[in-house]
A and B are shown apart, each in its own frame.
Chain A
Amino acid sequence: MRQAAFIARHATDWERFEAWLDRREKRRKRDAQGAPPERDALPDGEVPQAYRHVCQHLALARDRQYSPELVDRLNQLALRGHHLLYGARARRSVARALEFFFVGFPRLVRAERRLVVAAACLFFGPLMLLIAVLQFYPDFVYYLIGPDALAHLQEMYDPSNERLGRRKADANVMMFGFYIWNNVKIGFQTFATGLSFGLGTVFFLIFNGVYIGAVAGHLTQAGFATPFWSFVSGHSAFELTAIAISGAAGLRLASALIAPGLASRKAALVAAGRPAVRLIYGAATMFLAAAFVEAFWSPLTFFAPFTKYLVGAVLWGLVIGYFLFMGRPRGA
């Protein structure tokens, strides 16, 4: 069949399909009903068939070497149809988000427990070690943190402060913004640098472990133990766990690159990306919770240190219990 006859025979079908695409794309944009359909408009039920016809016509037009203009036009129609038909998405809902936090996330963390434990060791190991070492060799801290920064830290945790963990002028909301901006960024960095075959993730885990351990060890040894520990006890459960989980997400990417198994490295990376991003969803939410506690609860001096330790212990218990027991099938 010659091109002119081909166009004459099918042009109406293409125009109807195109009109449907136009209406549909407009409706998605405004999320309303769009313009009322005209009388001879394509009903939704016939769209898949019309789309398959366009696909067939595109294949024919290419095979018969019809003019590029026609092929391009059909290609565009098929592409737009493809976007609309295959891009249809499941509705997101509050129920699905809740399902993730009550079931999906703790299950995922348990499923990836080897990586989570590895990341936790890389992070908590240096942290504990530094705290212990600094009790016996206090001067060791000067290898890690400069004197100016130490003076600043001591000022933050001065027992005479009205609020802990900050200098006087800093407002709660400002610190909330800062904690989100800074801590979540650290989490994201720890995750993303997993692409360097894990080197970056390992570096950030150890680096943050060493830094936090050095601060904690130094302040404990230098006589600021009560203000420091009563400040950090509240949010530490969320924040430190979230760092370990971000690390696990980074290691997930790294393990796909180092040991892709039977898949190609690229395919393994794509497959690892999905659980890794879900881990990051969870970790980011925990960072958010930590920032909230850190900004609005941790600095209060109204409560006795004992109360704050108690709250911290309860929160640690909740976090650990959450990851151990949530989302298990009932009666198992």
Chain B
Amino acid sequence: MWRRSAQARQSSVLRVLVGFVPLLMLDTARRIATPEGIELALRLAGPVPRACAWLVDLLIRFAILGALGLFLGALGGFGRGAFLLIWFFLEWLFPAWCEAEWGGATPGKRAFGLVVLHDDGTPVRWPAALARNLLRAFDFLPFGYGFGLAAMLMNRDFKRLGDLAAGTIVAYRDPKPSGFQIPQAPPLAPLVPLTLTEQRAILDFAERAPGLTEERAEELAAIPRGLVGNLDGRAATQRLIRIANYLVGRK
């Protein structure tokens, strides 16, 4: 009787643990199916990082035009003509060039680790890059990217209207793996059988443990009572790490 209820409690607590874990449960993650029959995970960028990237691009543009203005202003009519031409190219064609030829990102997007991709996850090419950049002329309206922001909030892929028409998404550049490893420890079989999700939660905890503060790790490790029994503090953490070592099949 006690065992049953403990098990029920433990699995519901584990479900809470699982909640923040898998990337694909987040609604900004997008899975794209490939012809190989697998799904790749991409993390989409929301309005805030994109606005920041835009701001960086704007400042860069101002800086370039400001510097050129000082220099070309001294050249009279010819200088003013060249200035307007450069302004035109920086404003309309340069972003499209960056996205099509320079790794899918303007300098601002690069600074924030963003990249423009086709809907199917392939690198963006000229037609789509040009379409999304020309259509900025509409996203910009009525002021401060109002339509673009409204459109971004109304579809689940954060697409502004230019993205919708061009069939593009803005995602974070390859999410770097954390680099954490499950610490080595003598493996230990768990006392109760674990479902796959529960196993995954244990693995995830063990992998994250080196990156957590000791107190937080101990706090988390104390939750699944069915696994750690009466252990507390460091002993509980160690118990979970040993179970994780068992689960990955270390000897």
Contacts and interface: CB of A to CB of B under 8 A. Distances in A.
Contact of A55 (B38, B82, B138, B207): B38
B81 A79 contact: no
Contacts of B235: none
Contacts, number: 178
A68 to B, nearest CB: 5
Nearest to A63: B196
Interface string B71-84: 00000111011111
B200 interface: yes
Q: Interface extent on A, as a size class?
A: 35 or more
Nearest to A3: B248
A65 B248 contact: no
B182 interface: yes
Contact of B88 (A181, A194, A280): A181
B249 A2 contact: yes
A172 B84 CA distance: 13
Nearest to A271: B167
A277 B177 contact: no
A4 B248 contact: yes
Contacts of A82: 34, 40, 121-122
Given A55-B37, A181-B84, A65 B127 contact: no
Interface in A233-280: 253, 266, 269-270, 272-274, 276-278, 280
Nearest to B155: A266
Contacts of A27: none
A188 interface: yes
Interface in A157-180: 169-178, 180
B77 A184 contact: no
A174 B22 CA distance: 58
A177 B84 contact: yes
Given A76-B175, A195-B138, A269 B164 contact: yes
A173 B125 contact: no
A171 B72 CA distance: 14
Interface stretch (A83-91, A122-130, A135-143, A216-224): A83-91
B197 A277 contact: no
Given A67-B204, A68-B21, A83 B88 contact: no
B34 A200 contact: no
A67 B248 contact: yes
Interface in B71-121: 76-78, 80-85, 87-88, 92, 120-121
B167 A270 contact: yes
Contacts of B248: 2-4, 66-67
Contact of A52 (B36, B41, B83): B36
B81 A177 contact: yes
B181 A69 contact: yes
Contacts of A87: 122-123
A177 B135 contact: no
B23 interface: yes
Interface of B: 21-23, 34, 36-38, 40-42, 76-78, 80-85, 87-88, 92, 120-123, 125-128, 130-131, 134-138, 141, 147, 161, 164-167, 174-182, 196-197, 199-200, 203-204, 206-207, 244, 247-251
6 nearest CB pairs, A to B: A2-B249, A171-B77, A177-B84, A177-B81, A192-B137, A173-B81
